[in-house]
């Protein structure tokens, strides 16, 4: 455990966190700040992509909701609480920075996922980093390394932390053995994951908007009742984000290092920008143009961290719950309990169970997609699903700190393998964006992409024309 903590402190101290934010800055300038230039189109893409171009496939909106199944979950309720408890109020600032810069990364990941995806043969598609690394870079060793990290990291560790949070939230309101909660949770999860990607998308499209709006509304109510403290809290977040003096960080001794380390790590856990998870969902979208799904992916990052995570953070800080000494879902429950009374913890319990439930489904699917890239065998896929489910059953009996260390290590590996590929494949993102912009300028209201032609061939022919 101590060895893992040491490794994670090295990774998330500045190395991986710096790589992630540096990549965000690269894409911001390389793509001329798409998160600002195309911000209004993020909402238009949601409306335009509600239905799949192919009725058998997954719509852009469905793919977003399925991706949000992983994004809006434990990271939004528990990740924020652990970031505050470990890094102080300043961690929220770095979570925001991760999201703002991460929007450009998510945009690029979604486009590459669609450009280099593969057909399942039944009207649906699968894709993600393993696919765009192997097909775009022709680097199979890197793709294998990423896939193994995803198979273990998402299917095992991420799913376990989601399950652990659900179990702790349940124990906060019901006195029942953790393994029993795990069995019930896995039984419900199995119904969805054994139904395939279309069932995952349909389930997420129904539940995600409803759950998210309900949680946000309750948070805004608590914030509105303490709105006079909001300027003070905002000033505290900014101040603590750049605090070099541990003595000035309060009893916990928060510093800029701790705020940065936990803010970026938990920010990534909430929005998944750069770790290569959500591209697996966005690759399933049947849309006219890859760029429109890129807009949808940016919205997912913005919505998850800037809106949902901020709601959790302000609720905790405005109610003064941070000084309670609690962490994780217990801190979030305590904050809502102070904000709206005893029934507040029951609301968080319901939200955590449902958010965690759908997050487990998404995490297992991410691992499965990468397993199928290495070896596409139905029996092995089914065994993998069963193994992931069995780990969810026992995760309630594992110390939460241990699971979070495993999650941080897994996230670091995913970024180290995925981000270099994003940088090397950025020319395809630029090509797709220019194609979209040119069609828009020529008066085409709904740009269409030529999926019949390989993008590498198109980029190569364009480069030859420019040279001649």
Q: Mean pLDDT, 10 residues at a time, over the chain (468 residues)? A: 80 82 93 90 68 55 60 74 89 93 94 91 84 92 93 89 80 74 77 59 60 82 92 92 61 70 82 86 87 90 90 93 83 87 77 78 84 88 88 79 85 92 95 93 90 83 65
First to last CA, the chain: 59
Give the C-alpha separation, 300 to 291, whole Å: 14
Contact 164, 395 (CB under 8 A): yes
For residue 26, give every residue at least 6 positions away whose Cβ sits within 8 Å of its Cβ, in sequence order, or none. Answer: 423, 426
SS3 54: coil
pLDDT of residue 251: 42
Domain ranges of the chain: 2-462
| 335 close to 316: Cβ distance less than 8 angstroms | yes
CA distance 393 to 347: 23
- In the prediction, which pLDDT does 249 show? 47
Tokens coding 237: 């977040």
The CATH label, of 3.30.1560, 1.10.150, 1.20.1740, 3.50.50, for the domain at 2-462 is 1.20.1740
Give the closest residue to 395 by CA, choosing from 428, 427, 371, 363: 363
DSSP, collapsed to helix, strand or coil, labels residue 451 as coil
Q: What is the pLDDT of residue 3?
A: 78
pTM for this predicted structure: 0.84
């Amino acid at each position: 455990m101590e060895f893992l903590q040491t490794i994670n402190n090295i990774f998330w101290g500045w190395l991986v966190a710096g790589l992630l934010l540096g990549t965000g800055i690269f894409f911001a300038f390389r793509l001329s700040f798409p998160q600002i230039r195309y911000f209004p189109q993020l909402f238009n893409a949601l409306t335009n992509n509600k239905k799949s171009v192919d009725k058998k496939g997954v719509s852009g909106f469905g793919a977003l909701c399925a991706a949000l199944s992983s994004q809006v979950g434990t990271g939004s309720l528990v990740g924020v609480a652990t970031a505050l408890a470990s890094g102080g109020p300043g961690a929220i600032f770095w979570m925001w920075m991760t999201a703002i810069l991460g929007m450009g990364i998510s945009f690029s990941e979604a486009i590459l996922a669609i450009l280099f995806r593969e057909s399942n043969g039944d009207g649906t598609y699968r894709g993600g980093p393993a696919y765009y690394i192997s097909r775009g870079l022709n680097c199979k060793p890197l793709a294998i390394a990423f896939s193994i990290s995803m198979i273990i990291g998402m299917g095992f560790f991420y799913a376990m932390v989601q399950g652990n949070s659900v179990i702790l939230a349940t124990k906060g309101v019901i006195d029942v053995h953790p393994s029993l909660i795990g069995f019930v949770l896995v039984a419900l999860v199995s119904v969805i994951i054994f139904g395939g990607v279309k069932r995952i998308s349909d389930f997420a499209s129904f539940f995600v908007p409803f759950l998210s709006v309900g949680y946000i509304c309750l948070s805004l109510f608590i914030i509105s009742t303490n709105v006079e403290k909001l300027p003070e809290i905002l000033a505290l977040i900014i101040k603590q984000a750049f605090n070099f003096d541990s003595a000035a960080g309060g009893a916990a001794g928060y510093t800029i290092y701790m705020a940065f380390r936990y803010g970026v790590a938990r920010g990534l856990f909430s929005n998944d920008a750069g770790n290569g998870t959500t591209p697996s969902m966005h690759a399933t979208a049947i849309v006219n143009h890859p760029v429109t799904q890129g807009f949808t992916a940016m919205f997912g990052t913005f919505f998850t961290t800037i809106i949902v995570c901020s709601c959790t953070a302000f609720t905790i800080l405005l109610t003064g719950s941070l000084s309670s000494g609690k962490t994780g879902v217990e801190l979030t429950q305590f904050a809502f309990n102070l904000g709206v009374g005893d029934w507040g913890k029951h609301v968080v319990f319901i939200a955590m169970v449902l958010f965690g439930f759908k997050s487990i489904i998404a995490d297992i699917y991410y691992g499965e997609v990468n397993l199928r890239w290495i070896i596409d065998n139905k029996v092995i896929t089914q065994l993998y699903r069963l193994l992931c489910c069995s780990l969810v059953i026992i995760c309630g009996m594992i110390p939460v700190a241990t699971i979070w260390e495993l999650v941080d290590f897994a996230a670091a590996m995913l970024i180290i393998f995925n981000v270099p590929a994003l940088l090397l494949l950025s020319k395809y993102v630029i090509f797709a964006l220019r194609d979209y912009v040119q069609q828009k300028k020529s008066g085409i209201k709904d740009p269409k992409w030529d999926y019949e032609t390989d993008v590498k061939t198109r980029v190569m022919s364009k480069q030859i024309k420019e040279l001649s």
